[in-house]
Chains A and B, each alone.
Chain A
Amino acid sequence: MAINKADKQEFLVRAAILSLVFAIAFFTRLFSVLRFESVIHEFDPYFNYRCTQYLVNEGFYNFLNWFDETAWYPLGRIVGGTVYPGLMLTAGAIYWILHFFNITIQIRNVCVLLAPFMASNTAMVTYLITRETWSTGAGLVAAFAVAIIPGYISRSVAGSYDNEGIAIFALIATYYFWIKALKTGSSYWAGMCALFYFYMVAAWGGYVFIINLIPLHVLMLVLSGRYSPRLYVAYSSFYVLGTLLSMQIRFVGFQPVQSGEHMAAFGMFGVLQLYAVVEWVRSLLARDTFERVFRLVLVSALSVFAVVFAVGTATGYITPFTGRFYSLLDPTYAKEHIPIIASVSEHQPTTWASYFFDLHVMVFFLPAGLYFCFSKLNDANMFLIVYGVTSVYFSGVMVRLILVLAPITCILGGIGFSSTLKAYMRFLNRSDITRSKKESFSGQTQVALVVTAVLTGLLVFFSMHCVWVTSEAYSSPSIVLAANQPDGSKLIFDDFREAYYWLRQNTPPDTRIMSWWDYGYQLAAMANRTVLVDNNTWNNSHIAQVGKAMASPEDVSIEIMRQMDVDYVLVIFGGLIGYSSDDINKFLWMIRIAGSTDPSVKEADYFTKDGQYEVSDVAPPAMTNSLMYKMSYYRFGEVVLERGRPSGFDRVRHREIGVKDIKLKYLEEAYTTVNWLVRLYRVKEPSNRA
């Protein structure tokens, strides 16, 4: 009965810890709602939000067939076939369920709060997977760590309504069921694994990580002689079901059987079948006969596979890897070949500092966890090792993949942490000491005490750091900017919404707006107007056209703008308040992307003779004549910002601008927001008499 009571107590403690973790994971992500308001953040989430509204208002089938004529004018976009609908469907389902119970929550609030809710769920699955692979204690630490780790919070604060928010949950759940399936060898768990894989495919393009990692794990197991019928059942059922299910997503379509990225999984499936056959044959044949048969089978299988792959590639049936995938394997690939991928800041390589910033002490416990996994190697631990090592590599290539690293860091960190702690805690438990003969050396208890204290301290610092990072770095909606004033109060810059609402209220509904693609989704969602390019950067040449219009002199640009029926042009200008991610700073990418399709736009023309990127009086004529320069600095030459500074002093570039009397020929200024952050220009009608 006593043991039973202890079990009950432990269960209570465990349940209490888990429910606290659940709550913390949710509440720590609410800073942005408290600081600002319940608002969608950044860029992509606005599109997701718009999609969800459409889904909720028009129903599933209309969403599936939604042809959005306000995006990518005049090409349009088949939204239903070009999104991962998992996020919208999840939000929509929650909305419908709540409304069924007459909880009339707004769809916006569902969207804003979805990511924190999913983060809580992730913490629970992390607990499960760690418990499954290691121990309950490690699971609790891992769940706690993943609940507040900044690397994950950065993509899942309230309002950050993006695919990653639910994808991490799906990812960890898939892995949990994979390990479960592997351990039990039951096709039921493999089926669950495939189901969650399906959810992951519906949610995020990162599913490719799963469909390559699991085969890699299988390969490792086979190579290290850990092949078992359990593995065969688990992988075969998972692969077949998962592939069939993933093909149900329209955006994915036939990729799972055609694209190079999925071929590893397919190949592994084949290898596993062969291996099973070979094992079976081996059990039937004598040794030397078997070896001859084996060689024959191996050679013929390899050659058949090579021929199939070669023919498939040559006929174009198997597509080569996509650019994003290449840039994962070779970090310098994107910079040289695909400026549009390289231009995104979250595709840049990660710095050392951001590892510590995003993962804090877990960085140090990750190797510890790896060590413990190696020391007690089994099928499941091997998976953690493979996942850990690959994601460490990938996170070094692209800063956004810290997100994938964060959960495994917590799992391995949790294992490392709890194993270390367990090793020392033994000595602090009096009853244990008496039972274990004696200390190996004198003062061991004291050492154990110090180590335990240090570890606990680290955890405290970890949580303080996480909360601080969340509140300072990751809770800005980026649609509303805030700055601290000398007296400590906050100054809010709400220029983006000001401009978007101006457009919404002062222009006809079919107005077409040209801007750099970053603002496409926000314009569509908040201004409700047609845009030429947006954050779904599927058509490089269309973006290049816009880049060319921005980079060329007015006479050239007007031709492009007339062809595209542009009514308004929007630019972001940070020179007045010192907002550094404005269009002049992004301008080089516009030039580069324009130059990638139209050789007449040369990047070198926009640099000074000594290769500097300048806006001052040494700026080359290509720069000062460009539409972007003119629109950004139009009338700025008249502005004196501070005593002792010349007029037209740009606070981002810290330069006095080179051309102050800018005249526009085909454009006229339509609206400029309070802090000049957003500037809108109207395209004039052709002259009546010329």
Chain B
Amino acid sequence: CGYESNRSEHLRERGCRHTTMPRDWAMRGHALMVPLLLLALAAACGASEGKRTLMVVDDPSDIASMQKFVNDLKSRGYELEFARAAEMPNLEVYGVYHYDALIYFAPQYEGSRVSTSIIEEFIDSGRDVIIGGSAQAGRLMRDIAACVGVRFDLPRTVALDHFHYDTIRDGGEHTVIAAENVIDSKSIIGSSLNEPVLYRGAGLSFDPHNTLVFSVLSGFSSTYSFAPMVPIEGRLEVAGTKTVLVAGLQARNNARVIVSGSLDLFTDAFATGKVASSSGKKSAKSGNEQFVREVSKWAFQERGVLRLSNVRHRRVGEEEPPEVYTVEEEIEYSLEIHELVGNTWVPFIADDVQMEFVMLDPYWRLTLKPNADGLYTTRFKAPDTYGIFQFRVDYHRLGYTGLSDSKTKVVRPYRHDEYERFIPAAFPYYASAFSMIGSVLLFSVLYLFHNEHK
């Protein structure tokens, strides 16, 4: 299944309209329609290559405040469409998606045009979403975040930090945080980020039952989430380095989601001008522009996309896999992993790809050795145990497409004529049998002819 969705990911990654739509139609079984539709679409979409992206906001003025982000996306080839949340167009009609990605920047919208199930289905169809909230996030925004395992802290609370706020932009409430705890992943953040990322918005936390969500940007040990300018009473729900500011999630179908508790993170105002943190650190510009660009690259599958292909297994020295393996046979296992860089797949080299040979428990867990072409191979001897085994690969690394593959094969015991016939341990028995035959013959002869000689 991992392989399958990965492949479709690859199709979609090429970003062309006519690869996406026929797939949906084919899934619905309209086999005849496909060629016709393909022709029609090819004519309609023409040279259009971009990834259709819908940006949903509360207020059109928000778009104007994020020109850098918007222009950056456009320059990267995205076909952006804008809509107010109250007028949001349908993402999908009869199973056909009109958009490949969604930027949902409408924290305060509460109407009926948008629902959690629309967003859920969009993600479950393998498409990517960036969600931007704020401290004033409404019920709907909270619910949408909850369905990807992210919780906004209680209403009227804001992420605060009295030691790391930006003295230039802050209005005295210490809510503009110059955050520096960025996730350590090349795939998500790209090359290192040296400037602090300015953040003003809600403090986030994770749903403890969700194992897929992770923090992209989090607070300092002094960061917490509470109403500003109010003395703290009782226990803090969200505090310290566990205060999540920007969260990421890669679903099992490899759709990617970014949830930011702040919309200001994406604005031009936060992306330009000097930064002076109350901790004393000063920098000529904020890291926001770079952060937002890199994170959106990851979210929209421009980076960290892997492809697993050519998973093969066979007896050593043979080409095709056999019907069944026999115990103690030498087996060769290989696969290829490629990474999408720009528009081309290049070999992906890592030293931590493992395969398992499993029946209830792994009998082998081997690290695969890559060559320069991204071909990983290993050899092993099937255990002296028969059963239904699986060749299993589960390669899940932060920021990369999850790769899983499992192939089921039978390992059977020896046939009755495959055992070694002349084993040394049997020689005494052979000797015994033949000597017995000889003695009986001798005895019979002696017994029968004994009297005659007398």
Contact = CB atoms under 8 A, between A and B. Distances in A.
A468 B255 CA distance: 68
A470 B202 CA distance: 79
A9 interface: no
Given A73-B388, A76-B386, A563-B360, A690 B408 contact: no
A69 B211 CA distance: 34
A65 B414 CA distance: 8
A507 B438 CA distance: 63
Contact of B123 (A65, A75, A689): A689
Interface in B213-263: 249, 251-253, 255, 257
A78 interface: yes
A61 B418 CA distance: 12
B360 A688 contact: no
Interface residues of B, number: 32
Interface string A546-584: 000000000000000001100000000000000000000
Secondary structure of the A side of the interface?
loop
Interface string A644-679: 000000000000000000000000000000000000
A510 B207 CA distance: 36
Interface in B71-95: none
A686 B387 contact: no
Contacts of B360: 74-75, 563-564
B426 to A, nearest CB: 14
Interface in B182-222: 207, 209-212
Contacts of B386: 67, 76, 78
Contact of A74 (B148, B212, B387): B387
B114 interface: no
B388 A688 contact: no
B440 to A, nearest CB: 14
B410 A689 contact: no
A234 B92 CA distance: 87
A65 B149 contact: no
B416 interface: yes
A17 interface: no
Contact of A69 (B249, B257, B388): B388
Contact of A67 (B124, B253, B413): B413
Contact of B415 (A65, A69, A563, A687): A65
Interface in B33-53: none
Given A67-B412, A688-B252, A76 B387 contact: yes
A689 B249 contact: yes
Contacts of B387: 74-76
Nearest to A67: B412
A331 B386 CA distance: 36
Contact of B251 (A73, A74, A689): A689
B327 to A, nearest CB: 10
B165 interface: no
Contacts of B147: 689
A688 B124 contact: yes
Contacts of B251: 688-689
- Most A CB within 10 A of own CB, among B148, B387, B388, B413: B388
Nearest to A64: B416
B415 A690 contact: no
A356 to B, nearest CB: 48
A689 B212 contact: yes
Nearest to B386: A76
Contacts of A78: 386, 413
A659 B140 CA distance: 34
A78 B410 CA distance: 12
The 5 closest A-B pairs by CB, nearest first: A67-B412, A74-B388, A65-B415, A69-B410, A690-B210
20 contacts: A64-B416, A67-B386, A67-B412, A69-B412, A73-B388, A74-B360, A74-B387, A74-B388, A74-B390, A76-B388, A76-B412, A78-B413, A563-B360, A685-B1, A688-B251, A689-B148, A689-B251, A689-B252, A690-B149, A690-B212
Given A688-B123, A688-B253, A689-B257, 10 more contacts: A61-B415, A64-B416, A69-B410, A73-B388, A74-B387, A74-B388, A78-B413, A510-B408, A686-B252, A689-B147
